[in-house]
Structure 1
Amino acid sequence: MSEKIYVGVDLGGTAIKVGICDAEGNLKQTYEGPTKAEEGAEAGMERIAQYVRTVVEQSPYQWEQVAGVGAGIAGFLDIPKGFIKFSNNLGWRNIHAKQILEQKLGVPVQINNDANVAALGEAWGGAGKGIPNCVAYTLGTGVGGGIIIGGRIYEGFGGMAGELGHVSIVPDLEAINCTCGQKGCLETVSSATGIVRMAKDAVERGDRTSLALIENITAKDVFDAGKAGDEVALRIINRAAYYLGRSMASIAVVVNPQRFIVGGGVSKAGDILFDPIREIFKKYTPEHAQTGVDIVPATLGNNAGIVGAAGLLL
């Protein structure tokens, strides 16, 4: 076999997921094992190398076909140097990840921010396949993002490009503090955390809502209540969608992508979220910046990070 394969690593706080992709971004084989981050970075790097070798051994491919390994990592990175400055979900600091893994595996290694990698995964093998210019949002505990231009991740000067969750978009009178230290960030209203916060605020105010009957409200509870016609839940959903649509309108006149891709757990809500996002985007985006642009759900789910990490080598 002479076909080259690309191995992706999605390094999470509890699990390390690895997978093999072909040159077209098709996921061929996966493997998953525990991170055990508390054992330290040295043990973690060895575990990654072990899992990479395991996924190749369990596949129909040979090690000689591996063109390289990419890894998506949450945290503050020096991407060109392949250096982890600090990863809060791992508790690791000052790790020469690229250098260590290349020594252990004997193949080229690239690392990048986990949100960038998920965006690249969708662009390469998911909802953005065949579209060279797209922007991806990941709506989960926070709001992650990635910008793909000409089929490549746009990282910016210091690797901070695509931090869409920290676009300051909520007016001062409505804004609250964000975990990044700023106020009014998109993440404060359009993430699962933001949606739950708004729901709890409504219950504490005494708003008439079925959410008051739920002890531990989740974002899914809010969307389910909205689909059942709960007016308070619908107001919260529409607020989250409003600021997402407004942020896309701003991005559209800067980057002019052909497609916006929305992934993460919150995106599973479906049309109740996507319809108002599209409506707001259309309302606030100049005609020539919205023509031919669509807003679609992500398709790779939890595999986006693996596929995108593998795509770093291309």
Structure 2
Amino acid sequence: MRYCIGIDLGGTNIAGGLADLDGRLLLTDSVPTGLPCTADAIADRIAMLCRAMVQKAGFALEDAAWVGVGAPGSVDTATGTVLYANNLEFHNTPLAELLTRRLGRPVFVDNDANAAAWGEYCAGAGKGSRSMVMVTLGTGVGGGVVLDGRILTGCNGAAAELGHFVIQQDGLECNCGLRGCFEQYGSVTALIRQARDAMAAHPESALWQLAGGDAANVNGRVVFDAARSGDATACQVVDTYIGYLCVGVTSIINIFQPEILCIGGGISRQGDLLIQPLRAYNAAHGYSRGTGPQTNVVAARLFGDAGIIGAALLGKTIN
């Protein structure tokens, strides 16, 4: 059977999976990344994981069409070189070459957010479209852009840093060195910060009860659950947070005008409470409003599997 191997390389774990050439997962597994260690040691662990999964599935490694890797940082996709990934201490690391040497299969490498977006495009929320932007809301704001069936990488492998355009001049300081970045207002980290500030001002809020009396327990689900229960403080937090998302997401739509804009990350499971306001705001304020086909704002479908599936399909060209 022809199949492909996908690797989602993280700072804590290396997650992997086998998939058919349409992106249907056959099995998954993972191993610790084992930092701090050398690039060679990481390549050894990836190769070990690949062989273990292939053996578990009863396949032959020679039947793997390719191996795809989603890696953090900026990547030269033409050579499979990770130009820079600070958490892995990769600097001009020829990851594709290291893995080809160990596995004897073609290896494709891209940024991990691009890989997740490619997964959603090929096998998830963007399937069947020609263009899709994925905005992933988590600790930060990331994502990927697929235009006419190709991942947008830019001249230096660092395109689609969707969390780092300014939506608030002279706003909150961002870890990228700018102020007022979308990430500082639209990430789940930002939502939690906004909720904790509101809790401090409103000790009567149901947020305290849902968080077990400890603001450290607040997460995105707690905030949305409290809002669904009708808690006024939580509703105000959610409204403010979604307001920032509306501005950021509509700005992204104005730039790319994709068929699909996909919201990823665990918070996308909040469904219509999150998605409907984004659709309504874009319909009312987007540049192309009322002029023909409009971007469809949707929630991700693949969730935690997007990175593995997308990596597995990096060798697939959409014509």
Common fold: TM-score over 0.5: yes
Partner residue in 2 for 1:195: 191
Unaligned runs of 5+ in 2: none
Partner residue in 2 for 1:78: 76
| Matches of 1:288 and 1:125, distance apart in 2 | 30
Asked if structure 2 preserves the Cα contact closer than 8 Å seen for 1:16 and 1:33, the reply is: yes
Shift of residue 302, structure 1, vs aligned partner: 1.0
SS of 1:261's equivalent in the other structure is strand
Shift of residue 46, structure 1, vs aligned partner: 0.3
Asked if structure 2 preserves the Cα contact closer than 8 Å seen for 1:18 and 1:306, the reply is: yes
The alignment status of 1:11 with 2:13, answered yes or no, reads no
Listed one character per residue, the Cα deviations across residues 19-75 of structure 1 (whole Å, up to 9, x for unaligned) are 122222222222222211223322111010111122122224322221111101112
Partner residue in 2 for 1:256: 257
The alignment status of 1:296 with 2:298, answered yes or no, reads yes
Asked if structure 1 preserves the Cα contact closer than 8 Å seen for 2:11 and 2:87, the reply is: yes
Change in Cα spacing, 1:155 to 1:290, as seen in structure 2 (3 Å) is farther
Aligned pairs for 1:108-257 within 5 A: 108-172=106-170, 175-206=171-202, 209-212=205-208, 213-216=213-216, 217-257=218-258
| Matches of 2:249 and 2:119, distance apart in 1 | 20
Q: Superposition RMSD on alpha carbons, in Å?
A: 2.0
SS of 1:101's equivalent in the other structure is helix
Shift of residue 283, structure 1, vs aligned partner: 1.6
| Matches of 1:214 and 1:284, distance apart in 2 | 39
Partner residue in 2 for 1:95: 93
Asked if structure 2 preserves the Cα contact closer than 8 Å seen for 1:191 and 1:266, the reply is: no
| Matches of 1:113 and 1:58, distance apart in 2 | 28
Asked if structure 2 preserves the Cα contact closer than 8 Å seen for 1:37 and 1:91, the reply is: no
Listed one character per residue, the Cα deviations across residues 124-164 of structure 1 (whole Å, up to 9, x for unaligned) are 11111111211111111111110011222111122222111
Listed one character per residue, the Cα deviations across residues 86-110 of structure 1 (whole Å, up to 9, x for unaligned) are 3233344442211111111111111
Q: TM-score, normalised by structure 2?
A: 0.90
Equivalenced residues, count: 310
Structure 1 residue ranges (4+ consecutive) displaced by more than 6 angstroms after TM superposition: none
| Matches of 1:288 and 1:112, distance apart in 2 | 36
Listed one character per residue, the Cα deviations across residues 155-201 of structure 1 (whole Å, up to 9, x for unaligned) are 112222211111211344xx201111111111111111100111122
Change in Cα spacing, 1:215 to 1:249, as seen in structure 2 (3 Å) is closer
SS of 2:258's equivalent in the other structure is coil
Unaligned runs of 5+ in 1: none
| Matches of 1:14 and 1:47, distance apart in 2 | 12
Listed one character per residue, the Cα deviations across residues 221-253 of structure 1 (whole Å, up to 9, x for unaligned) are 211111111222222222222232222322223
SS of 2:134's equivalent in the other structure is strand
SS of 1:194's equivalent in the other structure is helix
Asked if structure 1 preserves the Cα contact closer than 8 Å seen for 2:8 and 2:307, the reply is: yes
The alignment status of 1:278 with 2:279, answered yes or no, reads yes
Shift of residue 207, structure 1, vs aligned partner: 7.2
Change in Cα spacing, 1:289 to 1:199, as seen in structure 2 (3 Å) is farther
Question: Percent identity among equivalent residues?
Answer: 38
Q: What is the identity, as a one-letter code, of the residue corresponding to 2:214? A: I
Shift of residue 205, structure 1, vs aligned partner: 4.1
The alignment status of 1:25 with 2:45, answered yes or no, reads no
SS of 1:128's equivalent in the other structure is coil
